[in-house]
Amino acid sequence: MASYADKFKVKTRCQLMSTEDKKLIHESTLEVMEDVGIKIHGRTARAALVRAGAHADEKAQVVRFPIGVVNSLVRKIPRTFTLAGRTPEYDLPLDGTHSYFTTDGCGVAVWEPKTRTRRRSLLEDIRKTAIVSDWLPYVSIYEPMVVAHDVPEKVHVVEGVRVGMENTSKHILTESTSNPDEARTQVRMAAEVVGSVEELKKRHYISAMVCTVSPLVLEGPTTEAAMVWAENHVPVHITGMAQAGMSGPATIAGDLVVNHAETLALACAMQAHEPGSPLMYGSVLSAMDPRSGAYIGGSPESTILCAAAVEMANFCKIPNSTGGLGSSAKVPGVQASIENTLSTAASILVGGEVINGLGVPDGSTLLSYEQLLFDHEIAGMALRAMSGFAVNEETLAVDLIKRIGIGGTYLGQKHTLAHIRDFYLQLMWKTESFEQAVHRGGMDSLEAANERIQGILKEHTPAPLDKDIAGRLNLIVKDFSKA
């Protein structure tokens, strides 16, 4: 019987760069890491790297990496592991043969389709998007999608994760952790769900995004949080965001060098502190608008950068995640969907294992329930297009073709009934005539998506979290708020 993860299997892969290109980028990165170094504000990370053989200027907080040290530490990174769901049904093996999709986080506003305006994001939006994501078949991982403005700032990260855990059985990715105390609290929460901290180390129910600061900086509290994640074997998506022309060189190759250096630096720090701790090369790269210097997600250059970063991860044999959907369109709809289609296809083709960004356009600041459905459709269609097809006696159907002959029909054949089950079924659009569409009101895509969302929220009830566990999660969040 096919598993949940099987629907994310990908057969078709290609290469954007030659092996020589990747080797040059990697060797240039090692030169930068050794000669320039990385400014690492986290004391625990610096100390671990020094023990591993790196050289630290404690006054400047700059660490320089001998090539041999980088190579030895990178070899300690696990090549494969599994992102676990709340239940094994939703387990996601990272073995290079799948492309999974995750919602995006950090939205600070929500699109209101009736008024075509924005409102502030609330904890209720996390609950609703978790329910919708639990139902949507091609959302593999749930990341709390907004900042909840109606809860105290101190607890908005852990409260968002708690609500996510209660409303979906899928793997949880936490994005906005800003200090080690938040990380420890989320470890306690995840341990309650899987049974213990020791079980969490084996069953990776949560993963965490940790961003570097370009160019060539690892910020203090978030780097210390990464050390906590490493100690507990919570997989870390190391997320460089070098912007070509602004925080990285205005060339794709140069921007990749900056990103590669930052990513390898944090990866090395984690392995020096906790050898064998799981991590992912998780770049979300972009290019600036040459007219204004503003961020442009979804541009051709941004798409190339994200795809090339995946290839650098694969070159180093490190599991990867990427910002494959990240349009900077200010509203949901055509622009965001066009840009996300291109970047999704590119990310899958080069071997993206976790593709981030469903449902949050405008530089990951605006939650749109409608765009979440559009992006989900893009993900499903792209996966089907690149999953390949079988060529064997059954699928060639030569005997059937001979029997039907010239001018016949295959509609009533058992072979047809068996194999149309494999056809992709669109969730968003109906296959109806123009007259039928006009008769039912001729809704545009945004209206149709909103109607579909309301139907999901009305009809779908996620598998509940055990009441005792839910109660303990509440107590953990309350304790954290008082600390």
Own/partner pairs, 69-74, CB within 8 angstroms, 24+ separation: 69/268, 70/30, 70/33, 70/264, 70/268, 73/267, 73/268, 73/271, 73/272, 74/264, 74/267, 74/268, 74/271, 74/316, 74/318
User: Are 179 and 236 members of one domain?
Assistant: yes
Q: Are residues 29 and 168 in the same domain?
A: no
| Same domain (yes/no): 329, 412 | no
Same domain, 231 and 299: yes
Residue 442 scores a pLDDT above 70: no
On whether both 51 and 159 belong to a single domain, the answer is no
pLDDT at 312 over 70: yes
Q: What is the mean pLDDT of residues 149-170?
A: 97
Residues 11-30, mean pLDDT to the nearest whole number: 95
Q: Which of 346, 332, 322 minimizes the C-alpha distance to 375?
A: 332
- Residues 6 or more apart whose CB falls under 8 angstroms from that of 148 comprise 121, 122, 123, 125, 126, 156, 159, 160
pLDDT digits (tens, 9 = 90+) for 233-285: 999 999 999 999 999 999 999 999 999 999 999 999 999 999 999 999 999 99
Query: What is the side-by-side strand order in the sheet with 286-288?
Result: 243-244, 286-288, 295-296
- Are residues 303 and 415 located together in one domain of the fold? no
Pairing verdict, β 354-358 and 279-281: unpaired
Is residue 475 included in any domain, yes or no?
A: no
Cα(151)–Cα(155) distance, rounded to whole angstroms? 7
Q: Distance between CA atoms of 334 and 478, rounded to whole angstroms?
A: 43
Mean pLDDT, residues 158-168 taken together: 98
CA 335, 337, 343, 346 dihedral sign is negative
pLDDT at 6 over 70: yes
Residue 259 is assigned to a structural domain of this protein: yes
Among 1-10, 39-48, 373-382, 421-430, name the one with the lowest average pLDDT. 421-430
| Structural domain boundaries, residue 415 | 393-422
pLDDT of residue 106: 87
Assigned domain for 189 exists: yes
* Same-domain check for residues 53 and 88: no
pLDDT at residue 8, rounded to an integer: 94
Residue 98 has pLDDT above 80, yes or no: yes
Model confidence pLDDT, tens digit, residues 193-204: 999 999 999 999
Query: Using omega within 30 degrees of 0 as the cis cutoff, is the peptide bond preceding 113 cis?
Result: no
Average pLDDT over residues 107-135: 97
Say whether both 374 and 360 belong to one domain. Answer: yes
User: In terms of domains, do 203 and 329 share one?
Assistant: yes
Give the relative orientation of helices 334-350 and 369-385 as an angle to the nearest 10 degrees: 40
Instruction: Give mean pLDDT, residues 430-439.
Output: 73
Query: What share of the chain in percent tops pLDDT 70?
Result: 98
Q: Which of 42, 59, 74 is the C-terminal boundary of a domain?
A: 74
* Whole-number pLDDT of residue 168: 98
- Interacting residues of 110 by C-beta distance below 8 A, sequence separation 6+: 118, 119, 120, 121, 122, 125, 146, 366, 367, 368, 369
Q: Which of 239, 238, 229 is nearest to 267 (CA)?
A: 238
One-character DSSP codes across 148-167: -TTS-GGGHHHHHHHHHHHH
Q: Looking at the structure, tell me whether residues 108 and 28 fall in a common domain.
A: no
Q: 318 in a domain, yes or no?
A: yes
What pLDDT score does 101 carry?
Answer: 98
Return the pLDDT at 68: 98
* Domain membership flag for residue 55: yes
pLDDT score at 11: 85
Are residues 57 and 86 located together in one domain of the fold?
no
Per-residue pLDDT, averaged over 29-49, amounts to 98
Q: What is the pLDDT of residue 2?
A: 78
pTM above 0.85, yes or no: yes
Same-domain pairing of 97 and 169:
yes
Question: What SS3 string covers 3-61?
Answer: CHHHHHECCCCCCCCCHHHHHHHHHHHHHHHHHCCEEECCHHHHHHHHHHCCEEECCCC
Check whether 440 has a pLDDT greater than 70. Answer: no
| Closest CA relative to residue 161, chosen from 217, 228, 208, 212 | 208
Which pLDDT does position 441 carry in this prediction? 62
**Domain CATH code at residue 294:** 3.20.20.480
User: Does position 443 have pLDDT exceeding 70, yes or no?
Assistant: no
Averaged pLDDT, 464-479: 97
Residue 427 pLDDT more than 90? no
235, part of any domain = yes
Whether residue 118 is predicted with pLDDT greater than 80 in this model: the reply is yes
Q: How far apart are CA 281 and CA 260, in angstroms?
A: 9
Task: Tell me the mean pLDDT in the region 304-311.
Answer: 97
Does residue 457 lie within any of the structural domains? no
- DSSP β-bridge partners for residue 150: none
Mean pLDDT of the residues in the chain: 95
pLDDT digits (tens, 9 = 90+) for 206-217: 999 999 999 999
In a domain, 168, yes or no: yes
**Structural domain total, the chain:** 3
pLDDT of residue 426: 87
Residue 423 has pLDDT above 80, yes or no: yes
Residue 460 pLDDT: 97
Residue 44 confidence class, pLDDT cut points 50, 70, 90: very high
* pLDDT for res 40: 98
